[in-house]
A and B are shown apart, each in its own frame.
Chain A
Amino acid sequence: MKNRSNDTQILLRVNLSTGAVSREELPRDWTRLYLGARGVNSRLLFNEVPAGIDPWGDQNVLYIGTGPMDGLPVGNSRISIACKSPRGSVAEGSGGGFFGPELRRAGYDYLAIHGKAERPVYLYICDETVEIRDASHLWGLTTDKTDAALRSEICDPNFQFRYIGPAGENCVHASVIMGNLNNSAGRAGCGEVMGSKKLKAIAVRGTGGIRVANYAAFLDAYKEYRSRLDLTTSRDPWTPVWSVYGAPVLARLFTDMGSLMTFNAREMSWGRDKTARISAEVFLDDYVTKAKACFNCPWTACQKQYEIPKGKYKGFKGGNYWAGQPVVFGSSIDNDDLDLLLVISGLCNQYGLDIFHVGFTLSWAMECFENGLLTKADTDGLELRFGCPDPDGLVDLMRKIACKEGFGALLAMGSWEASKVVGRGAERFSLSIKGQELEAITERNNYMVALGVAVSEVGPDHTRWYPPYPCNPNLISKEELHELGVDLDLRKAFQGRNPEEKGKLLRWFSISRAIVESMPGCVFLVRDTLGLDLRPWWKLFGSATGLEMAYPDFVRAGERVFNLERAFNVREGFSRADDRPPIRMATEDVPHFGYPKLSPEVFEPMLDEYYEANGWSKTTSVPTAGKLAELEMSDVTVALQKAGVEVEP
């Protein structure tokens, strides 16, 4: 494969129904307008997936996108995976590992997978060779066995893979697409859609290289970027902690703050003793065997492989203990046995299950069980209580959820849909928005989070507006912020329970994250001032692609991305009514800390401010024609009107 320049974007289309394969170059000005990755995917999705199609049918398209930074030592070379979610909205998620650079080196920036195969297949890409191969021998295998089987049958350890496990094959709610064993992506519905297409895996090998436009400028820009993130120079207290110990460190702080979801978020503090037992410190001491990283990550040990050292699960191996698991398999289900926690988490990766779906559906089920809405007759005899009195039963449940077997079939629907089956008010225990489970971030004492998860177009997803806390205020002056287009009272905006400025704050970070995800760039790289000051990213982008853009135009590209995603959603019928907190957060105060519920008096004005700041209708959330014209997307106005959506001027 020849080396390639970094100023074109190539789309490889594969139709699994017909077997057709084609390549096309994307319009040149898409790089300026949408950058890459999530940005370009949002445009492709809007253009090519019309309203009302069956998400499990052959008209849904699965996009896997890289961007101009993939294959370069910036952003960790993520991939953006996008499609229409079975919940009707945009489904878009970001994945790490090593797949992105390999795809670009093969000569493709984007994959678009159309149609459905009749029997299980995998896609084989090796530079110019693209084949749809039989995968019936892989169907049913867990992700780790799939990885091993592909590696040995292809006879080339340089190949990179993305695959689904049994959960994706069975179209389990929120199932994910895995890679490099423990990197997941697409919890908003991408794994289900890949399974519906009978696509088990994608194998890719690329031998080309990527030429940056201006190497000297790129190196200078890299050094500035690296200095914000490097352990020795980063001006951010999360850098030394995240880069080695990891996010489970938060648990002991959060329990004191009233920010740790406990007993299905009925309470928000678990106590320091229990959280200490599942802490990052214990994990590093007793379980970690090796650090792992994504492609060219500047950090030491974000990912860590682990092995259970003794006891019933001795020898069990897994990877990646991050911010979600201490909550979803710890405090929320009242489990302080770290062995059990790591086994369940590892099994989720093997089966291709989403940890938030599984964890919060388990805690939903435990609360239903406590309240008599579920009994042992429903749970195949499992004593499904907080505190996990039947750990073996829980471990076995992972397979049952992935295979939709017995009680697993109900849990496989996700807590919102399962509530409809159980009835009798079970939905009040479902921690979900737009039918998708929450992540593990507190809402009733952090209003930016409350608003952010509610409005997120893919269902709750913090990566679309992270971080929910400020960088050190002395790092960036008001004048500098104004120059950067951030006209906010940051101090007020970041006050947890002050509803003022939240809409405007969320708008800024929605833009910021849309830009970084379209480079693409990992959410953990939003350290130091890199969430507010996007100039390092802008310089890297410019020197890598050769594209000269004024900084405000670079920022505007980010705004286009989430406007396109909003447009997709409103065309599917989503509206203001869908942008709201889960029932529990809206109706229950937090005990012990006195944090009040997110009542309409608190929530609605924040939503008004967000829509107004974005130039969206306050009643319907549809972007106005004026806003879309400002973003050079008047064609979106026409498309929405054609689909019967009212667009205000």
Chain B
Amino acid sequence: MKTLQLVYVAHVCMLSGVVEEQASSQAATLRQLIDELDERYKGFCEMFVDAVTRQLRWDAAIYYSPPGAPPVSVVNLDQPVQDQAVITFW
């Protein structure tokens, strides 16, 4: 079980209802994390995953910070998720 800091920006807050939260997760990759979040916040998948390519949508962005390091823009949804990571959904 991992502990993640999740930060939601702008219109993403219309799904999450909060601007940020600490969450427990079993996700191994970002893709799995999005699926987990979609169960809690219906529409999360639709907002971030392109229905056709199954990649990150053109009009969405995710920034991933490994523990203790600054955020980097995500390209590949199958990248691993580490414990104590900070993930910003844009």
Interface flag for B11 (CB, 8 Å): yes
Interface flag for B71 (CB, 8 Å): yes
Q: State which of A235, A280, A445 has its C-beta within 8 Å of the C-beta of B10.
A: A280
A258-B70, A276-B19, A281-B19 known; A240-B88 Cβ under 8 A: no
Rounded to whole Å, the gap between the CB of A590 and the closest CB of chain B is 10
Residues from chain A with a CB closer than 8 A to the CB of B70 are 256-258, 445, 593
B71 x A244 contact (CB < 8 A): no
- Mark A275-288 against chain B: 1 for CB-CB distance below 8 A, else 0: 01001110000000
A253 x B88 contact (CB < 8 A): yes
Q: Which parts of A220-261 form the interface with B (CB within 8 Å)?
A: 234-237, 239-241, 244-245, 249, 252-253, 256-258
Interface flag for B13 (CB, 8 Å): yes
A252 x B9 contact (CB < 8 A): yes
Interface flag for A216 (CB, 8 Å): no
A245–B65 CA distance with the chains assembled, in angstroms = 24
A117–B65 CA distance with the chains assembled, in angstroms = 58
On chain B, the number of residues with a Cβ less than 8 Å from chain A's Cβ atoms is: 19
Residues from chain A with a CB closer than 8 A to the CB of B88 are 252-253, 256
Residues from chain B with a CB closer than 8 A to the CB of A17 are none
Q: State which of B10, B63, B65, B75 has its C-beta within 8 Å of the C-beta of A249.
A: B10
Residues from chain B with a CB closer than 8 A to the CB of A240 are 10-11, 59
Interface flag for B90 (CB, 8 Å): yes
Q: State which of B10, B11, B58 has its C-beta within 8 Å of the C-beta of A236.
A: B58
Residues from chain B with a CB closer than 8 A to the CB of A281 are 9-10, 13, 19
Closest-by-CB residue of A relative to B20 is A272
Rounded to whole Å, the gap between the CB of B86 and the closest CB of chain A is 7
A253 x B63 contact (CB < 8 A): yes
Rounded to whole Å, the gap between the CB of B66 and the closest CB of chain A is 12
A253-B88, A593-B70 known; A237-B10 Cβ under 8 A: no
Q: Which parts of A546-570 form the interface with B (CB within 8 Å)?
A: none
- Mark B70-90 against chain A: 1 for CB-CB distance below 8 A, else 0: 110001000000000010101
A237–B74 CA distance with the chains assembled, in angstroms = 12
A272–B60 CA distance with the chains assembled, in angstroms = 21
A245 x B11 contact (CB < 8 A): yes
Residues from chain A with a CB closer than 8 A to the CB of B11 are 240-241, 244-245
Interface flag for B49 (CB, 8 Å): no
Interface flag for A599 (CB, 8 Å): no
Residues from chain A with a CB closer than 8 A to the CB of B65 are 256
Interface flag for B61 (CB, 8 Å): yes
Residues from chain A with a CB closer than 8 A to the CB of B59 are 234-237, 239-240
Q: Which parts of A181-240 form the interface with B (CB within 8 Å)?
A: 234-237, 239-240
Q: State which of A241, A272, A473 has its C-beta within 8 Å of the C-beta of B90.
A: A241
Rounded to whole Å, the gap between the CB of B34 and the closest CB of chain A is 15
- The residue among A249, A253, A258, A475 with the most chain B CB atoms within 10 A of its own CB is A253
A593–B10 CA distance with the chains assembled, in angstroms = 26
Interface flag for A472 (CB, 8 Å): yes
A445–B88 CA distance with the chains assembled, in angstroms = 19
A244–B61 CA distance with the chains assembled, in angstroms = 16
Residues from chain B with a CB closer than 8 A to the CB of A241 are 9-11, 90
A237 x B61 contact (CB < 8 A): yes
A239–B7 CA distance with the chains assembled, in angstroms = 19
- Mark B33-68 against chain A: 1 for CB-CB distance below 8 A, else 0: 000000000000000000000000011110101000
What 8 A-B pairs come out closest when comparing CB atoms? A235-B58, A237-B61, A245-B10, A257-B70, A241-B10, A249-B10, A256-B71, A237-B60
Residues on B facing A (Cβ under 8 Å): 7, 9-11, 13, 19-20, 58-61, 63, 65, 70-71, 75, 86, 88, 90
Pairs A–B under 8 Å by Cβ, sample size 18: A234-B58, A234-B59, A236-B59, A237-B59, A240-B59, A241-B90, A244-B10, A244-B11, A245-B10, A252-B88, A253-B7, A253-B63, A256-B65, A256-B70, A256-B86, A257-B63, A257-B71, A279-B19
Residues on A facing B (Cβ under 8 Å): 234-237, 239-241, 244-245, 249, 252-253, 256-258, 272, 276, 279-281, 445, 472-473, 475, 593
